[in-house]
Amino acid sequence: MRCLSFQARRNLGTAFSSHMNALNVAPPRATDTVVRTGQMIGTSSSAVFCRAALSAITLLACCLLTDPAHAEDSAVHRNARGQVVVEAGSTLDKALVVTPVLASIWNRGVKTPGQIIAEPSRSVTVFSPVTGRIEEVTVTTGDHVRAGQTLVRIVSGDVAQATSDEAKASAGLELAKRAFTRAQGVLAAGGGALKDLENARSNLLQAQAEEDRAQARISALETVSGEGGIIELKAPIEGDVSAVNASIGMNVVDVTQPLIVMANSEELWAIADVPERDIRGVVIGQQVNVAPSALPKVILHSTVSAIDPIVQPNMAVLRVRAILPNVDGVLRPNMYAAITVMEPQPPTISVPKSALLMNNDNVTVFVRVAPHVFERRAVEIIYDEGDQCRVTSGLSLNDSVVTVGAILLNDD
C-alpha cells in the first residue's frame, strides 16, 4: 500500500485533535481505572477515551477519502512494463524537472607542492670587471631601475691604465700610418729598398691591432672618461634591485664578488616536482593550476612549458615548469604554492547529484523514456567535487533524467 502523503498525515492529526477536543476528553492517566479485556468498570475516563477514539477513527477515515493529497496519488501509476506514468498537467507533473545528460571532459589532477621562482634569463647579477674603490651607489634594495641606468661608480687604476693604453695605441697607430706613407713615397722615387716598405707595413698592422685591443678593453669596461679613471656599472635589464652588496668607500679586490642583484618579475616560473608514478600523462601544453600559499583564494592557470629530460635521482620526481605572467606584481620569487598538473580524461556522461536516488543499495535515476513516462535505471558513478558526478554506465548521451522531484517518483 502506498504511504500517506505528508499533507494527508497532517490532516489526520489535525482532525483527530479537533474531534477529541470537541468531546472534551483527555487521554487516560496512570491513576484512572483501566478497561480490562471483556469488561468495563463504570464510566471511567479511560472508557470514555476509548469510545471517543473509535469515533475519531471513523471520522478520520472519512477525511482520508476526501484528502486532496490522497486524491493526487491517482495522478501516478505504473504501466504493464513497470514504468512510472505521470498524468499530464498534474501537480506532480509540474513539479518535475527533466534535464538531458551532459558529455563533460573531466581532468584528473596530480597535486604536488611547488615553488614560484624568477626566470633565470630575467635574473642578473652585476659584477665589477676591475678592482678599485666604490665612489657612489645610486640604488637600494627594492628600487625599480631601467635598462642602462647607472648603479655603481668605481674609481679604478685599471680603468686609468686602460685609458692610457688606448691613448698610446692611438698615437702609435698614427705614427705607423705616416711611416708607411713615407716609405711608399721613397720607394716610388727610387731612393729606398723594398724591405723598408715591408717593415713600415708590418709596423702599421701591429699598431692597428694594438689600437683595436685598447678600444675593446675600453668598451668592455664601459668607462666614462674623466679624472682618475671612473667606471660606471649600469643595469643590463629593467627590473627590481633584490640585493645590494656595495657601499661607498668599499674596495673591490675580488672581481667575482657580486655587487648588485636584479630581477625582472613580470614573468615567473612555477616549478612542480611530479612523482615518478604520475609522469606518464604529463606533456607540453597540459593545463596547470597554481594556488600560492600566500594567496588562499587565488588560483592561477597556465600550461606546462618545459619538462626536465631526466628524473631527479634522489627524489624520484620529474620537474615541470609553467610560465606565470606577473604584470601586477602580486607574485614574488621563492613563494610556495600547491601546483596541480591536470590530466585530461575522455568525454564522460555527467548528471547533477540531485538526480541520484538509492534503491536497494543501488544508485538509480529516473530516465524519461516517453512524454510523462519514466523508468528507474541503475547507474554506476564516480563522485566528484561540485554539483555534477560522472556516470560510467547505465546512461547514454540521448537520455534525459529527472533532476528535480525524482524523490516524488521513488515509491519502491
Confidence tier at 107 by pLDDT (50, 70, 90): low
Query: How large is the average pLDDT for residues 41-49?
Result: 39
Q: Looking at the structure, do residues 86 and 58 belong to the same domain, yes or no?
A: no
Q: What is the DSSP string of 290-341?
A: EEETT-TT--EEEEEEEE-SS-BTTTTEEEEEEEEE-TT----TTEEEEEEE
Note whether 101 and 173 are same-domain residues.
no
Degrees, nearest 5: CA angle 153-156-162: 115
Residue where the block lists cell 564516480? 382
Asked if residue 102 has pLDDT above 80, the reply is: yes
> Is the per-residue pLDDT at 3 higher than 50?
no
Q: Look at residue 332 and tell me if it is in a domain.
A: yes
pLDDT of residue 385: 61
Of 51-55, 323-327, 360-364, 382-386, which gets the smallest average pLDDT? 51-55
Question: Is residue 274 domain-shared with residue 304, that is, in the same domain?
Answer: yes
Confidence at residue 202, expressed as pLDDT on a 0 to 100 scale: 93
pLDDT higher than 60, residue 79: yes
Residue where a domain stops, chosen among 173, 202, 228: 228
Length of the chain, in residues: 412
Statement to judge: residues 332 and 273 lie in one domain: yes
Q: Containing domain of residue 280, as a range?
A: 112-121+264-344
Q: How far apart are CA 263 and CA 242, in angstroms?
A: 7
Chain centre to alpha carbon of residue 1: 54
Residue 177 — pLDDT band, cuts 50, 70, 90?
very high
- If asked whether residues 340 and 351 sit together in one domain, one would say no
pLDDT for the residue 60? 42
CATH of the domain at 334: 2.40.30.170
Would you state the cell numbers that stand for residue 375, as one nine-digit string? 523508468
- The answer to whether residue 367 is domain-embedded is yes
- Is 193 in the same domain as 221? yes
Counting the structural domains of the chain, the total is 4
* pLDDT value of position 323: 93
Give the domain CATH number at 96.
2.40.420.20
Whether residues 381 and 316 fall in one domain:
no
Of 136, 119, 9, 122, which Cα lies nearest the Cα of 64?
A: 9
282 and 312 belong to one structural domain: yes
Same domain, 47 and 80: no
CA distances from 115 to 161, 247, 339 (A): 47, 32, 8
pLDDT of res. 98: 93
For the chain, the average pLDDT equals 79
Q: Is residue 251 part of a domain?
A: no
C-alpha 158/C-alpha 175 separation (Å) is 26
270 and 326 belong to one structural domain:
yes
Question: Looking at the domain assignment, is residue 49 inside a domain?
Answer: yes
The region, left, alpha or beta by phi > 0 then psi within -120 to 50, assigned to residue 228 is left
Is 397 inside a domain boundary? Answer: yes
- Decide: 117 and 334 in contact? Cβ < 8 Å: yes
Give me the mean pLDDT over the 331-341 stretch.
Answer: 91
318 and 279 Cβ atoms separated by less than 8 Å: yes
CB burial of residue 167 (10 Å; 0-12, 13-18, 19+): exposed
- Is the residue at 392 inside a domain? yes
Asked if residues 59 and 384 have their Cβ atoms less than 8 Å apart, the reply is no
For 4-18, 96-110, 159-173, which range has the lowest pLDDT when averaged over its residues?
Answer: 4-18
Residue 174 has a pLDDT of 92
Q: Is 240 within a domain? A: no
Whether residues 268 and 339 fall in one domain:
yes
- Residue 375: in which H helix or E strand, if any? strand 373-378
What's residue 345's pLDDT? 67
Task: Give the domain-ending residue among 344, 378, 399.
Answer: 344
Asked whether residue 100 falls in the same domain as residue 163, the answer is no
Q: Is the pLDDT of residue 119 over 90?
A: no
Alpha helices, DSSP H, located in 189-268: 194-221
Does 131 fall in a domain?
no
Among 185-194, 243-252, 299-308, 335-344, the range scoring the smallest mean pLDDT is 185-194
Average pLDDT (79-103) is: 89
Share of the chain above pLDDT 70, in %: 78
Closest CA to 289 of 307, 274, 305, 302: 302
pLDDT in tens, 337-349: 999 988 766 778 8
